[in-house]
Amino acid sequence: MTTARFPNQSLPPLRIGLIFGFLLMVMGGVVARLIYLQVVQGETLAARAQQQQRRYTPPALARYPITDRRETVVALDRPVFTLFAHPIQFKVARPAIARDLAPLLRQSPEQLVAKFSTYPTGVPLAYDIDEDTAAKIRALNYDGLELNQAWQRIYPQQELMAGIVGYVDRDHQGQAGIEFSQNQFLQVPHSRQLLSINALGEWLPALAPADPRALSHGYHVRLTIDSRLQQTARQALQRQLRKFNAKRGTVIVLDVKTGALRALVSEPSYDPNHYYRADPALFRNWAVSDLYEPGSTFKPINTAIALELNAITPDTVLPDEGRIFVGGWPIQNSDYSQRGGRGALRIAEVLAYSSNVAMVHMMSRIPARHYYRYLHRLGLTETVGSDLPFETAAQLKPPEQFINYPIEPATAAFGQGFSLTPLHLAQLLAAIANGGKMVTPHVIDGLYDENGQLQKRLEHPPPRRVFSQRTSQAVIKMLGEVVRFGTGKPAHIPGYRLGGKTGTAQKAIGGTYSNLRITSFFAVFPLEQPQYVILAVVDEPKGDDAYGSTVAIPIVRAVTESLITIEGIPPSHPQELRRPAAPASVSQ
């Protein structure tokens, strides 16, 4: 049998050499590349890796406490903790650790065991843990558990100050109120911290500073708001909202000389401690952000304009026919169907009886372009410029429309056809009350140290004159007559004098006037030397008897009485407070 012979399968030496040389070249290239990356590009690549793994970032910054003007705490930080697990470091069985943590974290052991299985390190288990619970967790003395301190903002006044202060989110950043608009002012100064992150973009807690936040050192931000007055205003507003089943309301108390807001209430409100449960629409204070047509409460401002432009004097007499036509459009008084016209009226009577027709006659004495120019000068195309967020600029018709269509200045004469915020109206009324100067409303007094010394204050524009002292005094006197014998009678407080003006305006929806109303009243107090403007606006009160005199005056009166008590304001007419002495008995 012949054996099959196969050719020799060994490779010739030349081929082996070529293969070996090729492998050496490949390995040499790899080594050269490694040397290049490690030596030549090492520093660059290391820096790039660190850049990807680290961030310069401010940690959850501590914020200054906020107090009212009497040092009542409105907002403050408290320490809270985040619990991280590092399962790779556990020396006790995971179910045992989960069983001990579950009641402290209000989670089930099964939930915790599942979390332990997600990553070997840096597993977040719970946030916002209070100090007592954190102490109990430390007492367990388990390896692989880490507590990181942060800050939680709390608001002891709850709904009372929400429209002013706002709230901060989980990252300790302001989202509404002055927490948002003055976010930087409220943060305690700090240095940027270099923190590391893992591949998932999460902070590595073990590498974070133990307490990266600076302390406030007793400093606090003081508001101009008085919590006592704020509470009175809120309660009075809530009563009227319930009584008239109204949609919403606001109360403003403004120091006419400084622009400091002593109270600023908007209802409905929300609890900033639980902001996530609230309607987001409530985060915007409607007294600052929502426009409305002021109606008759703007008549004193128009009267001041007419006096300034010499269109009238305090002794001018104007006709009130009850109903007139302007450019084919009918304009009438609110009580025309009951009373008809009132005949000739003095300027004070025009305000006291709130005559729309007489106001049209008054403002028709001013060329429309001059009237428009003055409204523009009063800021009716601008914002107020307060320290509160989400301000909305007032809206005035375009100049060509206002000037060329007589109905525009005619309706503006009694506060319709343009819109502004309640805070803007309060600012304009303060200019009448303080002698003619426009001040900037604000709620922040300044930053104070632990000894009560002012350290820093926000800058506001200096007051600017918009009316003369003479005009201011004349209008204030007329406002006193409104309360003495006009629509403001229910606002009278025995022993004291105040001026004011009611407003009951149709509410415009989509450019068309509806049957819905906005009722309002403002007071200037004390009348002899005005210090405050108190404004109440109630949106969409229900009922046939819902007017400024019935809805808004009771609110302003309650707030004024509270001011008298809080500020210790003595009566200007004490004789009104004395009761007649009982007749002496005659002995027989």
Q: Is-contact 517 505, C-beta < 8 A?
A: yes
CA atoms within 13 A on the CB side of 228: 11
**What are the mean pLDDT values of the chain's consecutive 10-residue runs (588 residues total)?**
47 63 66 57 52 47 92 94 95 95 96 94 93 96 92 94 96 95 89 49 46 60 98 98 98 98 98 96 97 97 98 97 95 91 96 97 98 97 97 97 97 96 99 98 96 93 97 98 95 97 87 86 97 98 95 98 97 83 43
Q: Domain ranges in the chain?
A: 66-223, 227-567
* DSSP-assigned beta bridge partners for residue 83: 126, 147
For the chain, what is the radius of gyration of the CA atoms?
A: 36
Closest by alpha carbon to 362, among 413, 297, 314? 413
- Cβ atoms within 10 Å of 393's Cβ, excluding its own: 16
Give kind and range of the element (H or E) at residue 130: none
pLDDT confidence of residue 41: 57
Task: Provide the whole-model pTM.
Answer: 0.83
Name the maximum alpha-carbon separation found in the chain.
Answer: 173
Helix (H, G, I), strand (E, B) or coil at 464: strand
C-alpha–C-alpha distance, residues 495 and 575, integer Å: 7
Q: At what angle do helices 553-567 and 227-243 cross, to 10 degrees?
A: 160
Closest by alpha carbon to 229, among 499, 501, 558? 558
DSSP state of 253: E
DSSP state of 534: E
Please tell me the CATH code under which domain 66-223 is placed.
3.90.1310.10
pLDDT confidence of residue 28: 65
Q: Is-contact 278 398, C-beta < 8 A?
A: no
DSSP state of 262: E
Q: Which positions ≥6 away from 85 have C-beta within 8 Å?
A: 115, 116, 123, 125, 144, 145, 146
CA atoms within 13 A on the CB side of 355: 31
DSSP state of 474: H
The residue to which tokens 């009542």 are assigned:
72
Q: Is-contact 67 73, C-beta < 8 A?
A: yes
Q: Which positions ≥6 away from 528 have C-beta within 8 Å?
A: 497, 572
Closest by alpha carbon to 421, among 289, 235, 576? 289
Helix (H, G, I), strand (E, B) or coil at 192: coil
Helix (H, G, I), strand (E, B) or coil at 537: strand
Here the tokens at position 166 are 């706002």
* 80 φ/ψ angles, rounded to the nearest 5 degrees: -135, 170
Here the tokens at position 526 are 């004390």
Closest by alpha carbon to 549, among 323, 261, 233, 244? 244
- DSSP secondary structure string for all residues of 24-92: HHHHHHHHHHHHIIIIISHHHHHHHHHHHHEEEE--S--B--EE-TT--EEEEEEEEEEEEE-GGG--S
Here the tokens at position 411 are 């309706």
* 403 φ/ψ angles, rounded to the nearest 5 degrees: -80, -35
Here the tokens at position 204 are 């590595």
Helix (H, G, I), strand (E, B) or coil at 518: strand
Give kind and range of the element (H or E) at residue 446: strand 444-448
66-223 and 227-567 in the same fold: no
User: What residues are annotated to the active site?
Assistant: 296
Would you mind telling me the total number of residues written for the chain in this entry? 588
C-alpha–C-alpha distance, residues 48 and 41, integer Å: 11
Q: Which positions ≥6 away from 191 have C-beta within 8 Å?
A: none
Q: At what angle do helices 131-140 and 94-105 cross, to 10 degrees?
A: 160
pLDDT confidence of residue 508: 77
**CATH 3.40.50.150 is held by the domain 227-567:** no
pLDDT confidence of residue 514: 77
